[in-house]
Amino acid sequence: MSGHSKWATIKRKKGAKDAARGKIFTRFIREITIAARMGGGDPNGNPRLRTAIAAAKAANMPNDNIDRAIKKGTGELEGTTIEEIIYEGYGPMGVAVLVEVATDNRNRTASEIRHLFTKFGGNLGALGSVVWMFDEKGVIGVDRKGLTEEQVLEAALEAGAEDVDTEPEDRFRVITAPDDLHSVSTALEGQKLQILEANHDRIPKTTKVLSENEAERFLKFYEAIEEQDDVQRVFANFEIPDAVMEKLGS
């Protein structure tokens, strides 16, 4: 997972640039709207909405945008109906890929996602074709500043987490069962740990190691998928060795 985690670090830096352009706000708005529609507009009683709002605020999204997205979800304001869909398939080099989208036009999105898979030498699969290759987990990012691995591991296990990943440069990643994400996050906050993110993630059970040439080719596909307007998140079971990741990240 080391190469994959390093790629996640690069994606966060890219996300900061996207936020400056406002692009990432669209994704947050859709997530907030869907969360409010499914679980109500009160974040105290809607963990998914609470997580989405926290992520949006971390990206400096204005409160007015957040409030409008909530009201569209609850029906207080008119808005288009947003549908959640997961696409599954194989990208270049046979890497398994899951694509989560939020769209107001299923046919358009399906056509564009299929085109991108085909363009880069992959193929879109049927429902269930690759999802079994991933474990759904809760992932909580904890700021490393002033903390040791032992301190975070002790706090995490006491809060009910499963494990702690020490790979990212700026944070510890606390791994939880999906249903325990919010209770563990709340418990860690209660212990005065700074939470940087709290999301449901799909962690590959096994990974495919990519060479430098393979990694360059795959990441072009990966970025193209992420840039599609309706895509919320992308998961893939690739791994890039540290030496290769350093070259690609330089």
Question: Region 110-116: what's the mean pLDDT?
Answer: 97
Q: Per the structure block, which two tokens stand in for 13? A: 């830096």
CATH number at 2-74 = 1.10.10.200
- Return the residue matching tokens 């690759």: 130
Query: In the predicted model, is pLDDT for residue 112 greater than 50?
Result: yes
Look at residue 249 in the predicted model and tell me its pLDDT.
65
The rounded percent of the chain whose pLDDT value lies above 70 is 90
Q: Per the structure block, which two tokens stand in for 222? A: 């990966």
Query: In the predicted model, is pLDDT for residue 116 greater than 50?
Result: yes
Residue 98: its H or E element: strand 96-103
**Is residue 104 within 8 Å of residue 79, measured between CB atoms?**
no
Q: Is the dihedral of CA 180, 163, 193, 56 positive or negative?
A: negative
Mean model confidence pLDDT for the chain? 86
**Is residue 87 within 8 Å of residue 129, measured between CB atoms?**
no
Look at residue 1 in the predicted model and tell me its pLDDT.
40
Listed by start position, the domains of the chain span 2-74
**Is residue 119 within 8 Å of residue 92, measured between CB atoms?**
no
Question: Region 2-10: what's the mean pLDDT?
Answer: 51
Torsion on CA atoms 250, 208, 231, 36, rounded to nearest 10: -110
CA angle 69, 112, 19 (to 5 degrees): 40
**Phi, psi of 195, rounded to the nearest 5 degrees:** -90, 125
C-alpha 90/C-alpha 122 separation (Å) is 5
Question: Region 100-120: what's the mean pLDDT?
Answer: 95
In whole angstroms, how far apart are CA 165 and each of 12, 48, 156, 208?
17, 23, 11, 19
Query: In the predicted model, is pLDDT for residue 107 greater than 80?
Result: yes
- Return the residue matching tokens 């030496």: 243
Binning pLDDT at 50, 70 and 90, where does residue 48 land? Answer: confident
Look at residue 9 in the predicted model and tell me its pLDDT.
56
Binning pLDDT at 50, 70 and 90, where does residue 194 land? Answer: confident
The rounded percent of the chain whose pLDDT value lies above 90 is 51
